[in-house]
């Protein structure tokens, strides 16, 4: 039901959550929850806040992996449950600062002079946070090192990045990030980068650092080959909540970003969102609104619409944080629940010329989260027409789209922040981390494991094993052409015909180990080249 402007204004006044310590405002007035919703949810949200308090004290909050969940300690090391953890967090922060200073001063330089670029190699939680923060807080005029990313095992994607760094690898620091140290995409990125440095006559080890778990495969390589330095990752920090560990802080510090501002914002947000009074707690309010809007089972998608180019990667970052955390088959009692909350988005007003048409008039399967940034830019703005700047237009488009959605019955939440400072970005990171944790408690799932990701990794390993068998088999039978089915049977895997077909067509397209002898598509026959 659409409220009249007067009722909407009264809802706004009643439900607007102003958090001056964070510079944050949360408006839930365009979510049509009934008057008794908060009272009904009081017990579950209280339990969620108590679960979170226990988690912060070091309880095993990831029961499947028997791990503590400690990302909140990263911005307030004194809260860690042991002195050793406090010490290791503080020590790492110091070593990040000291390393970045040596790089910026040129005390530690590449073969061609002081480092000017940083090539970050990682994936998932070891890339999305650094990418989001690099875009949100960097600036071509002030970046001390210019950031580049390998976040996939796509060779063409890597070639594009390497082309940008052509002739400049001697002043490029490679930062290889993998908590487990065994993720194939990251290992491949490292191997490809190393080969490029070597082709340029450079010693990769003298241009590389690793961020990884002690003793991992990556750690062993970095130590054995004498890389410049290694920085730790710990089992009590999850990949998607690792932005404020060395994973995010080292690349950001190298870029020249104010990492202490980021940490201060997150710390302040943690303090505000520990508030046991849920009506005053923005993370609790977000979790409750997600619960209401998606009926506690993710029945509506969340469209994240920041009206600010710098926040363009927020939706991608949140997509992983939310969907990898909440997208679970089983609840904490082992019951099949198929939970989740789908997230997508990009930025306004750009998206008004793309999918917002469907949001307003099409299938009503979503709610929007608008992010409004009050400060337009550093310095003043020209008027692009009488009485209006580009920033006024951006603000007008945000308000207009929000009204248009509301008038067609599409709910939305609005987060208002003053600017895109390091402090504010730290606030946003901590706010969504905690909202995800609280929501996970409301729906009774483990937000801190990722069995689906592990399943995908195992399946990929199986495909590569089959590929090796195909190439070996064809090489052992030179001149013999096989149909797909015949080859799958010859390998003793008749049920894997489709995978055999996919592998053969891919290898043939790249001239490696297999060629198409006759036919095409499904009637193709394959043999060794
Ligand atoms: O959030 C997660 O745990 C994952 O997305 C990981 O970050 C991702 O799989 C990369 O793992 P790793 O850092 O071990 O290379």
| 251 and 297 fall within a common domain | no
Number of H helices, E strands in the chain: 17, 18
DSSP 3-state assignment of 295?
Answer: coil
Among the candidates 225, 257, 289, a domain finishes at 257
The answer to whether the CB of 239 is under 6 A from ligand 1 is yes
| pLDDT per residue as tens digits for the range 129-173 | 999 999 999 999 999 999 999 999 999 999 999 999 999 999 999
Q: Are residues 349 and 389 in the same domain?
A: yes
Nearest-angstrom CA–CA distance, 260 and 249: 9
Helices (H), 20-146: 37-56, 83-105, 128-137
Judge whether 210 and 179 are in contact, CB under 8 Å.
Answer: no
Residue 104 sits in a domain of what CATH number? 3.40.50.10490
Relative to the CA of 185, which ligand 1 atom is closest?
Answer: 15
- For the Cβ of 185 lying below 6 angstroms from any atom of ligand 1, the answer is no
Check whether 512 has a pLDDT greater than 90. Answer: yes
Same domain for 335 and 236? no
The atom number, within ligand 1, closest to the CA of 123 reads 10
Sign of CA dihedral 480, 482, 486, 488: positive
Enclosing H/E stretch for 172? strand 172-178
**Spacing, Cα 334 to ligand 1 middle (Å):** 24
- Residue at which a domain ends, from 205, 230, 257: 257
- What is the pLDDT at residue 453? 80
Residues 270, 276: Cα–Cα separation, whole Å: 12
Which residue segment(s) compose the domain that 212 sits in? Answer: 71-257
Residue 461: pLDDT band (50, 70, 90) is: confident
CA of 170 to the centre of ligand 1 (A): 29
- Closest among 319, 308, 306, 325 to 438, alpha carbons compared: 325
Task: Determine how β-strand 208-213 pairs with β-strand 172-178.
Answer: parallel
CB of 423 within 8 A of CB of 263? no
- pLDDT tens profile 223-236: 999 999 999 999 99
Burial class (CB in 10 A: 0-12, 13-18, 19+), 77: middle
- For 94-121, write each residue's pLDDT tens digit: 999 999 999 999 999 999 999 999 999 9
pLDDT in tens, 31-42: 999 999 999 999
Tell whether 53 and 100 lie within a shared domain. no
Note the pLDDT of residue 433: 98
Cα torsion for 354, 359, 363, 369, to the nearest 10°? 130
Residue 133's pLDDT is what? 98
Known catalytic residues are: 324, 353, 457
Q: Note whether 118 and 101 are same-domain residues.
A: yes
Residues 302 and 386 in one domain: yes
pLDDT confidence of residue 451: 87
179, 219 Cβ separation under 8 angstroms:
no
Same domain? For 193 and 88 the reply is: yes
Instruction: Please report the pLDDT score of residue 520 as a whole number.
Output: 87
Same domain for 332 and 268: yes
Ligand 1 within 6 A of CB of 123: yes
186 Cβ closer than 6 Å to some ligand 1 atom: yes
Is any atom of ligand 1 closer than 6 Å to the C-beta of 245? Answer: no
Closest residue by CA, ligand 1 atom 2: 239
Mean confidence (pLDDT) of the chain: 96
Residue 480 has pLDDT above 90, yes or no: yes
Q: Are residues 94 and 215 in the same domain?
A: yes
Structural domain count of the chain: 3
Which atom, in ligand 1's list, is nearest to the CA of 183?
Answer: 15
What residue owns the CA closest to ligand 1's atom 15?
A: 178
Q: How far is the CA of 514 from the centre of ligand 1 (A)?
A: 33
The pLDDT value given to residue 216: 97
- Ligand 1 near 147 CB (within 6 A): no
Domain edge (last residue) among 234, 257, 280: 257
Nearest to 161 by CA among 193, 126, 114: 193
pLDDT band at 256 (very low <50, low <70, confident <90, very high): very high
* Strand order through the sheet with 515-518: 482-483, 525-527, 515-518
Provide the pLDDT for residue 413.
Answer: 98
Pocket test for ligand 1, best of 65, 123, 151 (most atoms within 8 A of CB): 123
Tell me, yes or no, whether 307 and 366 share the same domain: yes
- The verdict on the CB of residue 71 being under 6 Å from ligand 1 is no
Maximum CA extent, the chain: 82
Determine the Cα–Cα distance for residues 132 and 314; give it in Å rounded to an integer.
6
Same domain, 95 and 244: yes
Backbone phi, psi, residue 60, to 5°: -75, 100
Q: Report the C-alpha gap between 57 and 79 in whole angstroms.
A: 7
């Amino acid at each position: 039901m659409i409220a009249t402007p007067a009722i909407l204004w009264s809802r706004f006044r009643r439900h607007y959550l102003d958090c001056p310590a964070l510079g944050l405002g949360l408006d839930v007035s365009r979510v049509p929850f009934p008057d008794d919703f908060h009272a009904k949810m009081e017990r579950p949200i209280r339990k969620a806040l108590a679960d979170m308090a226990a988690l912060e004290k070091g309880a095993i909050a990831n029961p499947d992996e028997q791990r503590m969940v400690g990302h909140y300690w990263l911005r307030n090391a004194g809260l860690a449950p042991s002195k050793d953890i406090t010490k290791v967090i503080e020590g790492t922060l110091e070593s990040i600062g000291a390393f970045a200073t040596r790089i910026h001063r040129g005390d530690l330089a590449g073969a061609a002079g002081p480092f000017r670029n940083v090539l970050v190699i990682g994936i998932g939680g070891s890339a999305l946070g650094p990418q989001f923060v690099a875009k949100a807080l960097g600036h071509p005029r002030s970046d001390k090192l210019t950031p580049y990313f390998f976040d996939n095992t796509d060779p063409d994607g890597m070639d594009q990045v390497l082309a940008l760094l052509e002739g400049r690898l001697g002043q490029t620091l490679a930062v290889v990030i993998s908590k487990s140290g065994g993720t194939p995409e990251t290992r491949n990125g490292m191997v490809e980068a190393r080969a490029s440095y070597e082709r340029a006559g450079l010693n990769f080890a003298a241009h590389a650092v690793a961020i990884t778990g002690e003793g991992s495969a990556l750690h062993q390589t970095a130590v054995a080959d004498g890389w410049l330095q290694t920085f730790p990752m710990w089992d009590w920090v999850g990949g998607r909540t690792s932005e404020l560990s060395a994973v995010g802080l080292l690349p950001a510090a190298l870029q020249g970003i104010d990492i202490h501002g980021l940490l201060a914002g997150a710390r302040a947000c943690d303090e505000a969102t520990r508030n046991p009074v849920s009506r005053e707690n923005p993370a609790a309010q977000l979790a409750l609104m997600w619960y209401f809007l998606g009926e506690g089972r993710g029945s509506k998608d969340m469209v994240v619409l920041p009206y600010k180019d710098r926040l363009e990667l927020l939706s991608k970052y949140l997509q992983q944080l939310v969907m990898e955390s909440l997208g679970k088959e089983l609840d904490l009692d082992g019951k099949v629940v198929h939970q989740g909350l789908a997230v997508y988005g990009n930025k306004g007003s750009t998206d008004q010329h793309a999918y917002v048409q469907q949001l307003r008039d099409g299938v009503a399967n979503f709610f929007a989260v608008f992010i409004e940034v009050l400060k337009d830019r550093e310095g003043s703005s020209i008027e692009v027409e009488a009485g209006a700047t580009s920033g006024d237009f951006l603000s007008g488009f945000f308000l207009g789209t929000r009204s248009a959605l509301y008038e067609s019955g599409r709910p939305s939440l609005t987060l208002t922040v003053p600017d895109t400072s390091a402090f504010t970005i730290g606030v946003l990171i901590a706010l969504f981390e905690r909202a995800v944790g609280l929501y996970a408690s409301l729906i009774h799932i483990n937000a801190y494991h990722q069995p689906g990701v592990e399943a995908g990794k195992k399946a990929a390993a199986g495909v590569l094993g089959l590929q090796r068998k195909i190439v070996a088999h064809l090489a052992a039978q030179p001149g013999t052409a096989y149909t797909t089915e015949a080859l799958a049977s010859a390998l003793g895997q008749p049920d894997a015909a489709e995978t055999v077909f996919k592998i053969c067509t891919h290898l043939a397209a790249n001239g490696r180990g297999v060629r198409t002898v006759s036919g095409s598509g499904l009637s193709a026959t394959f043999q060794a080249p």
